[in-house]
């Protein structure tokens, strides 16, 4: 009975014009939170975890988990869009803004390459991760981010396809020349705007 109620409500929601406006072309809405990982889930202990900023910087920065968690936190409620065509509305996160991490860092970077435990990488223009557009998220729905979803901490860049939101992120490399990341070098679009349907190289 409860299930029937939920799916009726959900069908109603999918056809609601407000939600249709928030669904990029070719996407469908889901209430699940699918897991998409190119390899096994790495498990890094918090006492060895760190986050670093490297690359074309005057001085590298490093935060231990405790130092990272002492930084100012933001609550973020956003829609997310996976290139495999699911979109999920109103996901709620807590995280540290990339603006906060970059504060006071002298650098000549134009692009950011996110490096993750397990070797995954993804590339983003710096202007797409600054100005309140991206975070390192550590909580989802009020709970510590589950390892399958990138815990202890992942990049969250909701305005681009979700493969740009690198799970298990450990290092942000600032570079002046763009370099395609893992999926970008396998044929996915270099930028990945869901509203322009930039799924693959030639889109």
Ligand X SMILES: Nc1nc2c(c(=O)[nH]1)N[C@H]1C(S)=C(S)[C@@H](COP(=O)(O)O)O[C@H]1N2
Residue 83 or residue 101: which is nearer to ligand X going by CB?
Answer: 83
Residues that bind ligand X (CB under 6 A): 33-38, 82, 116, 118, 120, 149-150, 162-163, 165-168
Nearest distance from residue 88's CB to ligand X, in Å?
Answer: 8
What is the smallest separation between the CB atom of 18 and Mo ion, expressed in angstroms?
25
Angle of CA points 67, 44, 83, to nearest 5°: 100
Q: How far is the CB of 184 from ligand X (least distance, A)?
A: 11
Candidate list 82, 91, 139, 178; residue touching Mo ion; CB under 5 A: 82
Phi-psi group of 73: left, alpha or beta (phi > 0 → left; psi -120 to 50 → alpha; rest → beta): beta
109 vs 150, beta carbon nearer ligand X: 150
Which residue number, 41 or 107, has a Cβ lying nearer to ligand X? Answer: 41
Binding residue for Mo ion (CB under 5 A) from 163, 168, 182, 188? 163
**Cβ count near 57 (within 10 Å):** 17
Out of 36, 38, 70, 186, which residue is the one contacting Mo ion (CB under 5 A)?
A: 36
Does position 37 bind Mo ion by CB under 5 A?
no
Given ligand X, Mo ion, none, residue 116, with its beta carbon under 5 to 8 Å by kind, binds ligand X
Instruction: Please state the closest distance from residue 36 (CB atom) to Mo ion, in A.
Output: 5
CB of 16 to ligand X, least distance (A): 24
137 touches 93 (CB < 8 A): yes
Scan for tokens 């969250």, then name that residue.
156
Long-range contacts of the stretch 137-145 (C-beta < 8 A, 24+)? 137/76, 137/93, 137/94, 137/95, 138/68, 138/69, 138/94, 138/95, 138/96, 139/93, 139/94, 139/95, 140/91, 140/92, 140/93, 141/91, 141/92, 142/92
187 binds, among Mo ion, ligand X, none (CB under 5 to 8 A by kind): none
Partner touching 35 among ligand X, Mo ion, none, CB below 5 to 8 Å by kind: ligand X
Would strands 28-29 and 86-97 be described as parallel, antiparallel, or unpaired? parallel
Whether residue 152 is preceded by a cis peptide bond, meaning omega within 30 degrees of 0, is yes
Interface residue list for Mo ion (CB under 5 A): 36, 82-83, 163
């Amino acid at each position: 009975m409860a299930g029937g109620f939920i799916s009726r409500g959900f069908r109603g929601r999918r056809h609601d014009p407000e939600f249709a406006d928030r669904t990029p072309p070719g996407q469908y809405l889901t209430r699940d939170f699918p897991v998409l990982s190119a390899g096994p889930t790495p498990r890094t202990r918090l006492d060895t975890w760190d986050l670093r900023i490297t690359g074309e910087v005057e001085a590298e920065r490093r935060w231990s988990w405790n130092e990272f968690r002492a930084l100012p936190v933001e609550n973020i409620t956003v829609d997310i869009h996976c290139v495999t065509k699911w979109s999920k509305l109103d996901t709620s996160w807590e995280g540290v803004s990339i603006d906060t991490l970059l504060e006071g860092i002298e650098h000549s970077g134009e692009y950011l390459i996110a490096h993750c435990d397990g070797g995954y990488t993804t590339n983003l223009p710096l202007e797409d991760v600054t100005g309140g557009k991206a975070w390192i998220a550590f909580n989802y729905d009020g709970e510590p981010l589950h390892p399958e979803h990138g815990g202890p901490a992942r990049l969250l860049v909701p305005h681009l396809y979700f493969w740009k939101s690198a799970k298990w992120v450990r290092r942000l490399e600032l570079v002046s020349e763009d370099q395609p990341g893992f999926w970008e070098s396998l044929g996915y679009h270099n930028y990945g705007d869901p509203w322009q349907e930039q799924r693959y190289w030639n889109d």
